[in-house]
Structure 1
Amino acid sequence: MKPLSRAVAAACLTMSASALAQQAVATGEGQMAEVVVTATRGEKAVDKIPGAIAVIGQQELATQYLIADDPSQALSTYIPGYAPSRQKMSSTGESLRGRQPLILLDGIPQSNPLRAGMREGYFADSYIIERIEVINGASAVQGMGATGGIINYITKSPRTSGTTHGVNLRASTQFRSDNLDWKTGYSISHKSGDVDFLGYAAVQRRGMSYDGNGRRLGIDTVQGDTLDTHGDDLFVKVGKTFGDQRLQLSLNRFNLEGDGDYKNDPGSVAEGVPTSSLPGAPVGEAPRNKVRSASLDYRHADLAGGMFSAQLFGHQFASLYGATRVATFQDARIAPNGTLWDQSQILADKRGARITYVRPDTLVAGLEATVGVDFLRDDTEQRLAITDRTWVPLLKFNSTAPFAQLEYEFGAVTVRGGVRHEIAELDVDTYTTLAAYGSRTVEGGSAEFSKSVKNIGAVWRWAPQWSAFAASSEGFGLPDAGLVLRGVNTPGQSVSSLISLQPIVTRNNEIGVNWRGARGQFGISRYDSRSKLGSVIRITAAGVGLVERVPTTVKGWEVSGEWRPTRAVSAFGSYAKTDGKTAATQGAPLDISLGARSQGPDKAVLGANWKWMPASRLRLQASHLFDRDINIGRMVGTSRLEEHFNGYTLVDAAASWDTRLGKVGVSIENLLDKQYVGYYSQSAAATDPGNTYAGRGRTLAVNISRTF
């Protein structure tokens, strides 16, 4: 694998494009079509944005979702700095450039930064996603939580006049009796005059899976798994355009729940045997995700010479975790120690508004002004479902954030800078911790934050098809406040005095060069991300996660490209190197490498597309994760920081073509049937026989879709 990994990295460096970073296509005149993104709070061409912007288009998403219907796996394939997918309902360890991203669905925040249960990866059916816009690096443009960047999922909209019906069926198998996955969906799209409508309904069932050795994969019955689950989604979007104005309502109702037919079967760490599963019903209810999102959007394209937009949104999130009798849940007043089973549930309710006004040629020609204000109310709590106990008290977060940004374009140069002022307050009532923490009474109170976060950057289009950028931007967030408050174990504490609730401000400095030509694209960037008061979760010898407020820094570079020698053939690739560091304590040297909970390994992706017939497409792709051995012999308190990871290479293939039945797609995930244990399991859970999960072996998938 060593020569192959070096070849993958070398190929990425020599490619002359970046379709993975900027989804553009050649026009009939041989020029590149302009790519416009909206995650920056206004429609803007990517070559005028100072920063590393990525857009994953619908064709790429359709191909990747054919291989694996897994949102995080698509991000890992197309976004160089995104960590490997865990192939679980839990997304612990799936970071962006060593930090957490803010996840949005049409601008509605899906992340839960107040109590990050790492379940935010599954919130909508993949079919309704038209494209994914990614802003790499710290950003405050969409609000709190984007210390690693922004991932905005954009849903589909009706494009053609008339009424169109669609039927979609996907099935995958490893030819075992209990591992059939299938999903079927129906869509209706209507556009007539100034009214449009899109509706989608789908149901899905997932069976078990097997590794490259033919052994049943381990199921995570506590944190949540996609194995042995069922789900459904109902999505509606209706809009009306009247002149320069548009009003749109969208609703999404998503469920994903375990069937509870299998139990975790621990492996043997000493013998190198990963976790497996056995038939049987675990204790308690199966893990599940329930997500409800609603958005009312208004837009005026020509209001006083500018574009005005307003969005009202609501988002309800409920994630239930599996039952366990971990020491943290024990209470001798309820049951003898070691016998009490319980399961936790995170409940989050967000309501908010976003108002934006963009006006070109403000005061002088070429000067664009963007102003607005965001409002957010986030109520989050974590309870123990069986005994109805409070684990994390209700966190009532309110934020008001006005912002302003100026952009000036003169000739080949675009300069932009802005500021966002966060005025936030976190209110918590008096509560009592669990018995495991001493049943401590913590006095309620509030923590107020007022912080301005800034950004400045410039793009220089210094030659035909070439551009260079330099940017500095800040992101604003909170540590996992719920994890901090639930672990208070000393008397006399109050919410307002807990220094661990101070905000995280991350600054990302980045430079890069891009080339976009008729035959391809190429992009390379170097970044340096720092936070003086960061947030690191460390696991003690007792298995308890603690939040440590220490400085963190992440440095890295990324390169991506695509080359299209003919209209029928293209090659693409990317390479990312990430180096995150932190300290044992405040004031100590930054000589501890960030672990798998925070940072992914270095990664390379290489692939090729071949349109072997006018309506047919074939793809072959390989992903390589590089070895990582860190913090040898290092300890902080009782937390063991040493991690080891043996890298691996996975190869996938997919083909699609048009037939009389509709569009047919066939894929083989893990084409070489590689036996491997995932990055997070090898690194962060290496000593836990119940959490050492192997990855899927060779899997065949077939997709049939038809519109009429």
Structure 2
Amino acid sequence: MKPITRAVAAACISMAAANALAQQAVADPDGPIAEVVVTATRGAKAVDKIPGAISVISQQELASQYLIADDPSQALATYIPGYAPSRQKMSSTGESLRGRQPLILLDGIPQSNPLRAGMREGYFADSFLIERIEVINGASAVQGMGATGGIINYITKTPRANGTTHGINVRASTQFRSDNLDWKTGYSISHKSDAFDFLGYAAVQRRGMSYDGSGRRLGIDTVQGDTLDTRGDDVFIKVGKTFGDQRLQLTVNRFNLEGEGDYMNEPGVVAQGVPTSSVPGTPVGEPTRNKVRSASLDYRHNNLAGGAFSTQLFSHDFEALYGATRVATFQDTRIAPNGTLWDQSQILADKLGARVTYVRPDTLVTGLEATVGVDVLRDQTEQRLALTDRTWVPLLKFNSTAPFAQLEYEFGPVTVRGGVRHEIAELEVDTYTTLAAYGSRLVQGGSAEFSKSVKNIGAIWRFAPQWSAFAASSEGFGLPDAGLVLRGVTLPNQSVSNLISLQPIVTRNNEIGLNWRGEKGQASISRYDSRSKLGSVIRINSAGVGLVERVPTTVKGWEVSGEWRPTRALTAFGSYAETDGKTAASQGAPMDLSLGARSQGPDKAVVGANWKFMPSSSLRLQATHLFDRDINIGRVVGTSKLEEHFKGYTLVDAAATFGTRHGKIGVSIENLLDKLYVGYYSQSAAATDAGNTYAGRGRTLAVNYSRNF
């Protein structure tokens, strides 16, 4: 191992532990680390009573990371050991959790679009709104379909103090080039009284271009979507009223992120190792964009027949517009000569749903807690070609009803949990015709019905003061990318009802772990094994078209993370994760193919320290190392070349915050050593594509100012 690799790995292992971040909270400098309660498990529960790898990223940690980079996926990659590296793009292709796709939620509202995964779900709300992030690592069905890799639930802020408070927040970052200034400004108003509580927020943001460690302008992805050269805005409202044991709350979020259209992609030179860049210009068509509209009405009764009742009604409207291209898939000689037709795709997804949960302690016997409920979801998703108004993916109408029951029994130092969720789902599709590139095939409409019970069981044993161990087995339920399957039908006489590729994905995650929580820190280590007998792997053929292959997949890994607090002012933290995903060339073939960068990230280590050098001022230094990865040497399946190579790199970031009587000031430097590197996904999955080998940001200075009054 290289010296830097050996040093980073040794530092992580010495601090030990995988779901310690799950239990990490803002500590009282005069006492032990506070207990952390999470809600992603459908009921408020202390993490040391949940058998499994649960991670919580606190508001303080998020503030530090968003100061360095206003990038949601980069925050996850820093704090969640099994999360793949950020693409630094609007597109999140390749950003996985433990080699599988997570279900992303905002206050429990699904943001993911599993029916046609356009990989744009990473940007749906302004980072200022997020109070904490709860992560369930590993397959889970507790929040419904799509969590084969886990659950990532973003929790928005709520008024805490009585009275009315106004706040302003301004952030700017630069690399001291004329076209790369990023800035964001937001205004918030918070009110809490006996009558009601209210949180309102509005923000606007502009992002310029960025440069790599050599001073070369980064490549812009004008087709899949980029955060370079964009503008965004967000309006958020949360209003609630508490009366006795009951609470009623309404939340509305309106988010936009759209390209400015001032730069064009300039391909690099693969043979010479020159990455993709950008040049001023106006791309064809409309700029890429995300539009997200979310709303929920929540009701809770904390003392209903001896238990807690909660229900949520929600809606989620999502629109993703991709950039124009004249790819072969879009050509149709009935419209224009071959090779001249430009078009751009658009994904539209609308969800309506309801969640009902009832939690009752001491059910029948003392110590037995029962959680029961039902979820209902209606999801309608389609993909169109915007410039020519053609159907690429027909309207997918998905309806699901899922009753569930969970039992938890606590006796002394042991907590046992187990439950079952029964998914009753139907996917309906009308008759449609594929694009000319697929042969203009008429596909008969039909439906695919699924009825599947997914189970979980686990136990946690607090066997000594400050120590606990857990073992858990849980299943997650999902669908392959149905839109990708249906849009690519090339054979005649096909119907939706007989396409075997639409069979569901059931993933089982088995895991064991050990935790330590003490006055001076905490540490954990866990080992997991995740398997799908009928998994879903996307392979890119020689024409550059993604195809869904239904083959078994297995992901094994171990994660270790920890935090050490030698003094009241100093905290050190670290994590290390190994991920090993395997699949087969076809059903029945040996499991001897490694999952590529589209599915899983490389092994990763993170180390850092926080120093509170004054009562209201602190300094943070952190380093992330990605390990080399060379897989599938010489392997080909059909026309898909599976060989990938990745040369790892280390990035160092620094941030400082200063509290003053006039407000709080933050200063950060991303990529402190100005490292020149090409991102993991670009090196691995797009290594031969001159237009998609994107370098990462070089040294970047950011300044943030916030004040409440």
Q: TM class, shorter-chain normalised?
A: over 0.9
Q: Could you tell me which residue of structure 1 aligns to residue 63 of structure 2?
A: 62
Pairing 1:45-84 to 2, within 5 Å after superposition: 45-84=46-85
For residues 301-339 of structure 1, the C-alpha deviation after alignment (integer angstroms, 9 at most, x for no partner) is 000000000000000000000000000000000000000
Letter of the aligned partner of 1:630 in structure 2? Answer: I
Q: CA deviation at 1:16?
A: 5.6
Q: 1:370 to 1:425 in 2, by over 3 A?
A: same
CA distance in 1, matches of 2:23, 2:583: 32
CA distance in 2, matches of 1:665, 1:21: 26
Q: Give yes or no for the alignment of 1:291 onto 2:303.
A: no
Letter of the aligned partner of 1:295 in structure 2? Answer: S
Pairing 1:513-528 to 2, within 5 Å after superposition: 513-528=514-529
Q: Could you tell me which residue of structure 2 aligns to residue 267 of structure 1?
A: 268
Q: Could you tell me which residue of structure 1 aligns to residue 484 of structure 2?
A: 483
Q: CA deviation at 1:6?
A: 1.6
Contact 1:453-1:476 at 8 Å conserved across structures: yes
Q: Could you tell me which residue of structure 2 aligns to residue 204 of structure 1?
A: 205
Contact 2:20-2:515 at 8 Å conserved across structures: no
Contact 1:16-1:515 at 8 Å conserved across structures: no
Pairing 1:668-707 to 2, within 5 Å after superposition: 668-707=669-708
Pairing 1:127-206 to 2, within 5 Å after superposition: 127-206=128-207
CA distance in 1, matches of 2:2, 2:292: 43
Q: Could you tell me which residue of structure 1 aligns to residue 599 of structure 2?
A: 598
Q: Could you tell me which residue of structure 1 aligns to residue 256 of structure 2?
A: 255
**TM-score normalized with structure 1 length:** 0.99
CA distance in 2, matches of 1:452, 1:340: 47
For residues 264-305 of structure 1, the C-alpha deviation after alignment (integer angstroms, 9 at most, x for no partner) is 000000000000000000000000000000000000000000
Q: Could you tell me which residue of structure 1 aligns to residue 38 of structure 2?
A: 37
Q: Could you tell me which residue of structure 1 aligns to residue 115 of structure 2?
A: 114
Contact 2:298-2:313 at 8 Å conserved across structures: yes
Q: CA deviation at 1:603?
A: 0.1
**TM-score normalized with structure 2 length:** 0.99
Q: Could you tell me which residue of structure 1 aligns to residue 11 of structure 2?
A: 11
Letter of the aligned partner of 2:566 in structure 1? Answer: P
Higher mean Cα deviation, 31-40 or 293-302? Answer: 31-40
Letter of the aligned partner of 2:537 in structure 1? Answer: V
Q: CA deviation at 1:236?
A: 0.2
Letter of the aligned partner of 1:624 in structure 2? Answer: H
Letter of the aligned partner of 2:7 in structure 1? Answer: A
Letter of the aligned partner of 2:691 in structure 1? Answer: G
Q: CA deviation at 1:26?
A: 4.2
Letter of the aligned partner of 1:7 in structure 2? Answer: A
Q: Could you tell me which residue of structure 2 aligns to residue 634 of structure 1?
A: 635
3-state SS in 2 of match to 1:20: helix
For residues 537-574 of structure 1, the C-alpha deviation after alignment (integer angstroms, 9 at most, x for no partner) is 00000001000000000000000001000010010000
3-state SS in 2 of match to 1:73: helix
CA distance in 2, matches of 1:687, 1:300: 57
Letter of the aligned partner of 2:184 in structure 1? Answer: K
Q: Could you tell me which residue of structure 2 aligns to residue 278 of structure 1?
A: 279
For residues 464-494 of structure 1, the C-alpha deviation after alignment (integer angstroms, 9 at most, x for no partner) is 0000000000000000000000000000000
Q: Could you tell me which residue of structure 2 aligns to residue 237 of structure 1?
A: 238
CA distance in 2, matches of 1:144, 1:418: 16
Q: Could you tell me which residue of structure 2 aligns to residue 542 of structure 1?
A: 543
CA distance in 2, matches of 1:554, 1:110: 25
Letter of the aligned partner of 1:5 in structure 2? Answer: T
Q: CA deviation at 1:14?
A: 1.6
Q: Could you tell me which residue of structure 2 aligns to residue 90 of structure 1?
A: 91
List, as ranges, runs of 4+ consecutive aligned residues in structure 1 with deviation greater than 4 Å: 16-19, 25-29
Q: Could you tell me which residue of structure 1 aligns to residue 496 of structure 2?
A: 495
Q: CA deviation at 1:32?
A: 3.2
CA distance in 2, matches of 1:5, 1:135: 28
Letter of the aligned partner of 1:269 in structure 2? Answer: V
Letter of the aligned partner of 1:280 in structure 2? Answer: G
Q: CA deviation at 1:660?
A: 3.1
CA distance in 1, matches of 2:387, 2:26: 54
Q: CA deviation at 1:4?
A: 1.7
Q: CA deviation at 1:30?
A: 3.1
Pairing 1:421-440 to 2, within 5 Å after superposition: 421-440=422-441
Instruction: Name the Cα RMSD after superposition.
Output: 0.9
3-state SS in 2 of match to 1:134: strand
Q: CA deviation at 1:11?
A: 1.4
Higher mean Cα deviation, 27-36 or 692-701? Answer: 27-36
CA distance in 1, matches of 2:54, 2:183: 34
Q: 1:5 to 1:615 in 2, by over 3 A?
A: same
3-state SS in 1 of match to 2:22: coil
CA distance in 2, matches of 1:544, 1:705: 46
Q: CA deviation at 1:29?
A: 6.7
Gapped regions of structure 1 (runs ≥ 5)? none
Contact 2:174-2:182 at 8 Å conserved across structures: yes
CA distance in 2, matches of 1:27, 1:221: 47
Q: CA deviation at 1:688?
A: 0.3
Q: CA deviation at 1:23?
A: 1.7
3-state SS in 2 of match to 1:543: coil
Gapped regions of structure 2 (runs ≥ 5)? none
Contact 2:111-2:124 at 8 Å conserved across structures: yes
Q: 1:28 to 1:544 in 2, by over 3 A?
A: closer
CA distance in 2, matches of 1:489, 1:19: 49
Q: 1:455 to 1:659 in 2, by over 3 A?
A: same
CA distance in 2, matches of 1:390, 1:466: 57
Pairing 1:445-460 to 2, within 5 Å after superposition: 445-460=446-461
Contact 1:520-1:564 at 8 Å conserved across structures: yes
Q: CA deviation at 1:2?
A: 2.0
CA distance in 2, matches of 1:618, 1:393: 52
Q: How many residues align?
A: 708
Contact 1:606-1:623 at 8 Å conserved across structures: yes
Pairing 1:389-408 to 2, within 5 Å after superposition: 389-408=390-409
Percent identity, aligned pairs only, is 86
3-state SS in 1 of match to 2:497: helix
Contact 2:22-2:47 at 8 Å conserved across structures: no
Letter of the aligned partner of 2:591 in structure 1? Answer: L
Contact 1:16-1:520 at 8 Å conserved across structures: no
CA distance in 1, matches of 2:16, 2:378: 45
Q: Could you tell me which residue of structure 2 aligns to residue 324 of structure 1?
A: 325
Contact 2:380-2:398 at 8 Å conserved across structures: yes
Contact 1:165-1:707 at 8 Å conserved across structures: yes
Letter of the aligned partner of 2:467 in structure 1? Answer: W
Contact 2:138-2:530 at 8 Å conserved across structures: yes
Contact 1:20-1:572 at 8 Å conserved across structures: no
Q: Could you tell me which residue of structure 2 aligns to residue 2 of structure 1?
A: 2
CA distance in 2, matches of 1:513, 1:14: 15
Q: Could you tell me which residue of structure 1 aligns to residue 387 of structure 2?
A: 386
Q: CA deviation at 1:25?
A: 4.4
Letter of the aligned partner of 1:539 in structure 2? Answer: I
CA distance in 1, matches of 2:455, 2:176: 54
For residues 72-116 of structure 1, the C-alpha deviation after alignment (integer angstroms, 9 at most, x for no partner) is 000000000000000000000000000000000000000000000
3-state SS in 2 of match to 1:211: coil
3-state SS in 2 of match to 1:21: helix
Q: Could you tell me which residue of structure 2 aligns to residue 567 of structure 1?
A: 568
Contact 2:232-2:256 at 8 Å conserved across structures: yes
CA distance in 2, matches of 1:616, 1:15: 25
Letter of the aligned partner of 2:451 in structure 1? Answer: S
Letter of the aligned partner of 1:132 in structure 2? Answer: I
CA distance in 2, matches of 1:321, 1:24: 39
Q: CA deviation at 1:21?
A: 2.9
CA distance in 2, matches of 1:596, 1:125: 28
3-state SS in 1 of match to 2:177: coil
CA distance in 2, matches of 1:612, 1:505: 50
Contact 1:616-1:656 at 8 Å conserved across structures: yes
Letter of the aligned partner of 1:335 in structure 2? Answer: A
CA distance in 2, matches of 1:634, 1:58: 45
Higher mean Cα deviation, 651-660 or 178-187? Answer: 651-660
